[in-house]
Amino acid sequence: MEGKRVLRSILATIGMLAAALAATPAAAQLSQTIYEGQSIPLTIPVTASVGGRCQFATNGAPSGTWDAGFIDEAAWQHDFGFTLECNTAARVAVVSLNGGLKAPVGGSDPGYVNLAPYTVTLNLDGNTTTASDFCAAAALKASAPGTCAFRGPASTTAGLRLAGPSQNQTDSYLRVSAPAFAGPGTLVASTAYADTLTITIAAAP
């Protein structure tokens, strides 16, 4: 009887060891399994950039012509409106072709001139800020020796600066004006006094 009990004890021990050995790999496998309802945190670093963009809005660029009439008899003024589309600060600049209203005929006779001065005013309308300045047309000529805050072409450092974005704001304008010409000199007779203003724009972050 004693031998049978020892044998049963040995067999029981062997059975427990076998069960333990069989259970070990199964437990390891289950620990690596992800079941529905569980989650693993995942971090993906994503970065992006948006560059500064500034232009005249569609159908909102300054354009047109203006006939000032008899500039030696009466003062004159006209505004050319435009709309900016900028997601950042911007600069707008102007260049005058002639530096004034110029007649194609010469003013060579003593006391006669063929160039009439006028003033250019630039007003920029932003979402939360505005900017405005004025210069004589003579200072806007590309070769002019003087300085003007918004003589072009526009760049990140040249031009009248609007400090913030502008979207669909309608109060930007370029104004040309002058009092009746009173000298010095006398303007030669002509119906073709003219000037061309070129306006450029640039993002200026």
pLDDT at 33 over 60: no
Residue 109: inside a domain: yes
Residue 27: inside a domain: no
Residue 107: inside a domain: yes
pLDDT at 107 over 80: no
Residue 103: inside a domain: yes
Tally of domains in the chain: 1
Q: What is the mean pLDDT of the chain?
A: 86
Task: Round to whole Å and give the CA distance between 149 and 133.
Answer: 8
Residue 65: inside a domain: yes
Domain containing 173: what range? 54-203
Q: E strands of 87-171, at which residues?
A: 90-96, 101-102, 112-113, 115-116, 119-125, 130-136, 160-162, 166-167
Query: Pairing state of beta strands 84-86 and 166-167?
Result: antiparallel
Residue type, 123: N
Residue 38: inside a domain: no
Residue 129: inside a domain: yes
pTM recorded for the entire structure: 0.76
Residue 106: inside a domain: yes
